[in-house]
């Protein structure tokens, strides 16, 4: 058996690493294709090293561009790889443009597709990722869901039950494996940053960082939060460019940082008093770590982090953001628990489903 993995951005690497390891333990031949959708070495190459993934067999070098251009270039450059390697299945991860582009190519070449992190829905089709999720799940032959709400979404959309496999969250597999290493990194990090307690901030979504007015409002609110607690802000390249283009003056109470590698960022998350973010995966990681998370979005494709975990959606209500931080500092923040099957073994369940022959009967 030969499995082809398609990755293109930081969350993909975190998800693919444990799946690749689980398949290797079962002597499955594998090919890794990096589309190059994230082309900044700080956001890409460092994760391969820290996660223990070998250099990809192919790097398509696509880089940035509009959604249409990026998706088209990935398809054009990916198809020859599939024709050359002739995999038994392609595994795609998450909801980025690389995910949909690879699924489209494989579906037209009659190569089975497995979607890791299937079934997530925000209900907001203005988000490009929601379109990628919907279409990829319609094309996939095996749909690996992280939580039961994913199963429910897929069944409601007409996906046959036999194709849906509830396996748990592969991002948590990587977190569980590398948390001890991140604690060793913390000893050094602690000497380089403002003292605890601190709030950890990440911003990268267009709705928050591409609109100068919204970005300005966010920086003001974070500056006010910084009067009560240290604010650490590793700045995504997209966000840094927006800040430079807008000529924003960052409040002195905000401690700007370069993008962090996986281990350092995990260490920061696990020791944060609160995390303020617009990322999807961080909502999951903070839920596992038991760290309060305030998400600057009106909807989430990971509702289990809200219903079960430590996550709260505050949208664009920056007064509420500041109020929730004050509650957390007063010891009155939201409590949560870890969802079922977020146990560090999701990738093993995926590998077991792939190597057994029964799934072919669903094609």
| Lookup result for tokens 């869901």 | 145
Report which DSSP code applies to 55: P
Contact 263, 178 (CB under 8 A): yes
The answer to whether 67 is a known catalytic residue is no
pLDDT reported for residue 196: 87
Domain locations along the chain: 2-169+342-362, 180-329
306-320: pLDDT as tens digits? 999 999 999 999 999
pLDDT reported for residue 41: 59
| 3 state DSSP class of 258 | coil
Can you list the residues of the chain whose pLDDT is less than 70?
39-45, 359, 361-363
Q: Encoding tokens for residue 258?
A: 């370069």
pTM: 0.93
| 3 state DSSP class of 325 | helix
CA distance 258 to 10: 15
189-235: pLDDT as tens digits? 999 999 889 999 999 888 888 888 999 999 999 999 999 999 999 99
180-329 shares the fold of 2-169+342-362? yes
C-beta pairs of 25-30 under 8 Å, 24+ apart in sequence: 25/351, 26/351, 26/355, 28/1, 28/2, 28/3, 28/351, 28/354, 28/355, 29/1, 29/2, 29/3, 30/2, 30/3, 30/4, 30/5
**Beta-ladder partners of 276:** 201, 294
Contact 296, 321 (CB under 8 A): yes
CATH number of 2-169+342-362: 3.40.50.2000
pLDDT reported for residue 43: 52
CA distance 3 to 243: 41
Q: Is the peptide bond before 197 cis (omega within 30 degrees of 0)?
A: yes
CATH architecture under which domain 180-329 falls = 3-Layer(aba) Sandwich (3.40)
CA distance 164 to 151: 7
Instruction: Tell me which of 204, 255, 271, 345 is the catalytic residue.
Output: 204
């Amino acid at each position: 058996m030969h499995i082809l993995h398609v990755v293109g951005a930081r969350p993909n690497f975190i998800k693919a690493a444990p799946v690749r390891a689980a398949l290797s333990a079962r002597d499955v031949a594998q090919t890794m294709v990096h589309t190059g959708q994230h082309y900044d070495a700080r956001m890409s190459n460092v994760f391969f090293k820290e996660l223990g993934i070998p250099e990809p067999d192919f790097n398509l070098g696509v880089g940035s561009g509009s959604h249409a251009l990026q998706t088209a270039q990935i398809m054009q450059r990916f198809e020859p790889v599939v024709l050359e390697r002739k995999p038994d299945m392609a595994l795609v991860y998450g909801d980025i443009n690389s995910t949909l582009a690879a699924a489209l190519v494989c579906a037209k070449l009659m190569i089975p597709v497995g979607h890791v992190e299937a079934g997530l829905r925000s209900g907001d089709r203005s988000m490009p990722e929601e379109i990628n999720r919907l279409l990829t799940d319609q094309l996939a032959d095996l749909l690996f869901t992280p939580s039961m709400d994913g199963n429910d979404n897929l069944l409601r959309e007409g996906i046959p039950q036999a194709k849906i496999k509830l396996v748990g969250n592969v991002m948590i597999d990587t977190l569980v494996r590398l948390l001890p290493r991140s604690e060793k990194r913390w000893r050094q990090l602690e000497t380089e940053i403002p003292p605890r307690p601190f709030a950890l901030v990440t911003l990268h979504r267009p709705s928050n960082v591409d609109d100068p007015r919204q970005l300005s409002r966010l920086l003001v609110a974070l500056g006010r939060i910084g009067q009560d607690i240290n604010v650490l802000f590793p700045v995504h390249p997209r966000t840094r460019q927006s800040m430079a283009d807008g000529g924003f003056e960052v409040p002195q109470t905000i401690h700007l940082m370069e993008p962090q590698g996986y281990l350092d960022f995990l260490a920061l998350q696990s020791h944060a008093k609160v995390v303020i973010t617009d990322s999807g995966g961080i909502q999951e990681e903070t839920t596992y770590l038991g760290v309060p998370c305030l998400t600057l979005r009106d909807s989430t494709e990971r509702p289990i982090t809200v219903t079960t975990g430590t996550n709260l959606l505050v949208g664009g209500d920056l007064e509420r953001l500041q109020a929730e931080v004050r509650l957390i500092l007063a010891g009155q923040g939201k409590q949560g628990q870890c969802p079922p099957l977020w146990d560090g073994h999701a990738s093993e369940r995926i590998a077991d489903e792939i190597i057994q022959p029964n799934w072919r009967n669903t094609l």
